[in-house]
Copies of this chain bind each other. A is one copy, B any other.
Amino acid sequence: MEADKTQKLLKEKLKEKGLKVTHQRLLVLSVLEENSGSHMTAEDIYDLVSEDYPEIGLATVYRTLQLLWDMQLVDRINFGDGCVRYEIGHLLNGETKHNHHHLICKRCNKVMPFDDDLLESLEDHIEKATGFHVLDHELKFYGLCKDCMKKQR
């Protein structure tokens, strides 16, 4: 149901640019959609798409992710663990803004989401103070999770 809407949007945007609607592009987007909430690497996505469509190549996944990102259909996140991660775009995600942040444990590397929209007003302030037009933000907190705090020597 939601998925239909997403696909339709992708098809529109492709047509707009004279690009083609292919199996691979639809599949990558749908995997991202089915796993909304997880932070997936290109390899993760490749593995999942491969289940339905084994002949896909990893390079195509990279090219498609780049494309989806250019079209603002997916978000990129980087936890500094050496690979870029993707999730379904916040524009498609129901919410009007991207207001979920990440708590990253320095010891066990667990990543937890955290919701807050405190930053809206800060964005307005930035625009007025610097002339920089904010489109999106990314906020990460590094520290120790509850479990690791307990285990702390």
Contact = CB atoms under 8 A, between A and B. Distances in A.
A142 B131 contact: no
A17 interface: no
B146 A142 contact: no
A136 B130 contact: no
Given A132-B112, A132-B146, A140 B137 contact: yes
B146 A141 contact: no
A144 interface: yes
Interface string A26-42: 00000000000000000
Contacts of A138: 139-142
A58 to B, nearest CB: 17
Interface residues of A, number: 33
A80 interface: yes
23 contacts: A78-B80, A80-B84, A103-B130, A103-B132, A105-B132, A106-B135, A112-B132, A114-B130, A116-B122, A118-B118, A118-B122, A126-B141, A130-B146, A132-B141, A133-B144, A133-B149, A134-B143, A135-B142, A136-B141, A136-B143, A137-B139, A137-B141, A139-B140
Interface of A: 76, 78, 80, 84, 103, 105-106, 112, 114, 116, 118, 122-123, 125-126, 130-146, 149
